[in-house]
Amino acid sequence: MRTMCREGYLRDTERCFLMAEKFKNIAVLTTALDTDGQAQVMEGIEEYGKKHGCNIAVFAWFTGTYEKDKHNLGEINIVNLPDLDLFDGVIVMANTFHIEKNRAILMDLLSELECPVVCVGAKLADYYYVGTDTYRSMRRIVEHFVKEHKCKKIHFVKGVAGNPDGDARYQAYLDVLSENKIPIEEGRITQGDFYIRGGEQAAREIISSKLPLPEAVVCANDIMALTLCGVLKQKGYRIPEDIMISGYDYTAEGQQNEPALTTVRCRFEKMGYTACKMILDVLEGKKVSKQILLEDEMVPGRSCGCREPGMAKSGIELRGVQRKDVFQRKLVYRLIEVEKNIMEGDVYEDWLEALRKFILNIEPTEFYCCVNDDFMEKVFAEGLVKQEAMSLRERLSYSKKIDVMVAYRDGAFFKKASFRSKYAFDEMFKKSKKPKMYIFSPIHYLERNFGYFVFVDSAFPLCNPLYVNWLINMGDAIENIRKQNLLQMAVRELDEMYVRDSLTGAYNRFGMERYFKELKQECLRKKKKLLVAFSDLDGLKGINDKFGHETGDVIIKAAAEILQAEEKEFFVIRYGGDEYVVLGATENDAEAVAYFERVKNSIQRYNKANDEEKKAGVLSLSIGYQVFEVSGGLELSECIHLVDQKMYADKKSKKRKK
């Protein structure tokens, strides 16, 4: 059932009930949260959202341009966790969607929403959009090299093909060169990717090119520029004396670099701030422009020779220094420690304990490890055949109910109740003292979904490549335990096949030899006696001749089942075609007498049911047994010989009665 609430937006009745309080919920869909730019956008969203009574729920995945398909599926799957219809608005970091499959998944997800959607950094369909005039800013960079440094040999490193920002920056390069009558040479253009590989590729092409060395290299972002700087310096080139380099995005790493990068300071934080404001303005019924463009600023640096070394660091640089030199140094040590703990463990409980220790060490405000309610069964209990037969959808799916394996808040672990997965985290929809920012990250191995982590008001996931490494390691560790568990299960299954009879499931003679030794030791240790019984089916040959071997097999299986069912602690062995041995530790003869009385009654019930259902064959067992005092010299063969004679005596007695 659906009803109208909240400024005319459709919501289901459950949401209206849950949201009857002051905090709205805004979802953010993003990748590349480990980069400084995305982290700054998040700072803007968080600042404006919290100030205006909004929880921020960030669903983050980490995929690069060259991502393997299965790993990518496991990452992007986090967007399928929440029911986005429960949120007041959605912010999409669209400038980082470099994988076409991911773009298609997100477009399909967004198309069903009725709440306002704001895209940051790149346009998607007809949604609200906030970005910067990246074309104009890149023009300033290229013009700076042409007019201030009089460069005519300028190399360009492109972003991801088809990315709007990357395409606009490349177009600016082409236009400035054309306007200044500088030849555009294909050999001076590298197809990059906004990541490290793009910078490495540019270095290879520049060094191996037959063209004269470029005077300047303009990169579509800071990451590629930094990578290029590093490779060229290793090869003996001086920056900026031999080659000038520029980036784009004004990252902390770029400003800490020696030389500091010439770049463009994007208004990332303002973009996030504006995106959140747009959503709230729409919800309040205000008139909001479909597109807002912010001005960027060119920042000359030492990498083009325009800034002297030793200049005071800006706020972003100091923030970056603090993150890397203090927080991350501690974090590296903790990550090494947690990896050692995980490597030493071989069961899931070890993984869980290593996780708890890590959380205690990094001391987040709040943390939760959430898994599907069938996590233990599907990951650690089901066998290889069943697990490998799971469809892709089954491997990726979230269950309707989510269990919380680890809950941590205010320095202590506590138990948290399960909740429905469509909320992603139910406390966002409950009353609380203040709004919070929740960051959701998937726990997976390739396309196998294990669950997700939730960090609340924590710096750990933001602008931190080590966080990505930690996520991958945690997923890999569960997968290793899963595989070890499957291997152990396979070994047990093979062992069972070795010691079990395939027809009845009872033990065979190999099993008998093994468990006799164990029983003997148990009896000696606990001062118990040993029951040994020998039984033989009566008239099986006649049943086979009259009704066929299939009916005979049914009788054979039924006998084994009855012998085992009446005492779970006893071992039932199929000794021959129609012969059984029963072994068991017992206190006295009375227990043995009671056991065989139960067997006799069970056989009678079986035959009565067969007769009523007009099934062929009558089950009858001749049995001989004895309870032995156990000593070190007790031999099984001697025991079987004695009870075998008793069994034959029972069989002869039956024949005489006939």
CB 458 within 8 A of CB 366: yes
Segment holding 485, helix H or strand E: helix 465-499
pLDDT at 490 over 80: no
User: pTM for this structure?
Assistant: 0.72
Nearest-angstrom CA–CA distance, 652 and 635: 27
Residue 137 lies in a domain: yes
- Read off the pLDDT of residues 276-319 as tens digits, 9 standing for 90 and up: 999 999 999 999 999 999 989 999 999 999 975 544 444 444 44
* Residue of 157, 225, 215, 211 whose CA lies nearest to 189: 157
Nearest-angstrom CA–CA distance, 582 and 513: 12
Look at residues 461, 485, 513 and tell me which one is the last residue of a structural domain.
461
The phi, psi pair for 77, rounded to 5°, reads -60, -20
Q: Total domain count for the chain?
A: 3
Same domain, 162 and 254: yes
Domain encompassing residue 579: 502-657
Q: What is the residue type of 17?
A: F
**pLDDT (mean) for 162-188:** 95
Give Cα 431 distance to the centre of its chain. 29
Which of 50-64, 78-92, 192-206, 495-509 is predicted least confidently?
A: 495-509
Same domain, 79 and 151: no
Residue 336 lies in a domain: no
Nearest-angstrom CA–CA distance, 64 and 197: 10
Share of the chain above pLDDT 70, in %: 89
Nearest-angstrom CA–CA distance, 66 and 87: 32
Q: What is the pLDDT of residue 14?
A: 46
How many C-beta atoms lie closer than 10 Å to residue 611's C-beta?
A: 10
Maximum Cα–Cα distance across the chain: 121
HSE at residue 236, side-chain half, CA atoms within 13 A, is: 1
Residue 567 lies in a domain: yes
Same domain, 623 and 530: yes
Nearest-angstrom CA–CA distance, 562 and 599: 6
pLDDT at 137 over 50: yes
CATH number of the domain within which 639 lies: 3.30.70.270
Residue 43 lies in a domain: yes
Share of the chain above pLDDT 90, in %: 66
Residue 127 lies in a domain: no
- Read off the pLDDT of residues 625-658 as tens digits, 9 standing for 90 and up: 999 999 988 999 999 999 999 999 999 988 877 6
pLDDT at 322 over 60: no
Residue 552 lies in a domain: yes
- Read off the pLDDT of residues 358-398 as tens digits, 9 standing for 90 and up: 999 889 999 999 999 988 887 777 767 677 778 888 899 99
Nearest-angstrom CA–CA distance, 40 and 55: 17
CATH number of the domain within which 220 lies: 3.40.50.2300
Residue 31 lies in a domain: yes
Task: Say if residue 405 is exposed, middle or buried (CB neighbours under 10 Å; 0-12, 13-18, 19+).
Answer: middle
- Read off the pLDDT of residues 180-233 as tens digits, 9 standing for 90 and up: 999 999 999 999 999 899 999 999 999 999 999 999 999 999 999 999 999 999
Nearest-angstrom CA–CA distance, 299 and 222: 12
Which of 29 and 488 is assigned the larger pLDDT? Answer: 29
How many C-beta atoms lie closer than 10 Å to residue 52's C-beta?
A: 15
CB 219 within 8 A of CB 247: yes
Give the mean pLDDT of the chain. Answer: 88
Same domain, 29 and 163: no
pLDDT at 357 over 60: yes
Residue 358, helix vs strand vs coil: helix
Tell me how far CA of residue 474 lies from CA of 72, 341, 370, 445, 480, in angstroms.
16, 11, 13, 9, 10
Same domain, 174 and 287: yes
Residue 254, helix vs strand vs coil: helix
Residue 496 lies in a domain: no
Task: Write a three-state SS string for 580-615.
Answer: EEEEEEECCHHHHHHHHHHHHHHHHHHHHHHHHCCC
- Read off the pLDDT of residues 228-252 as tens digits, 9 standing for 90 and up: 999 999 999 999 999 999 999 998 8
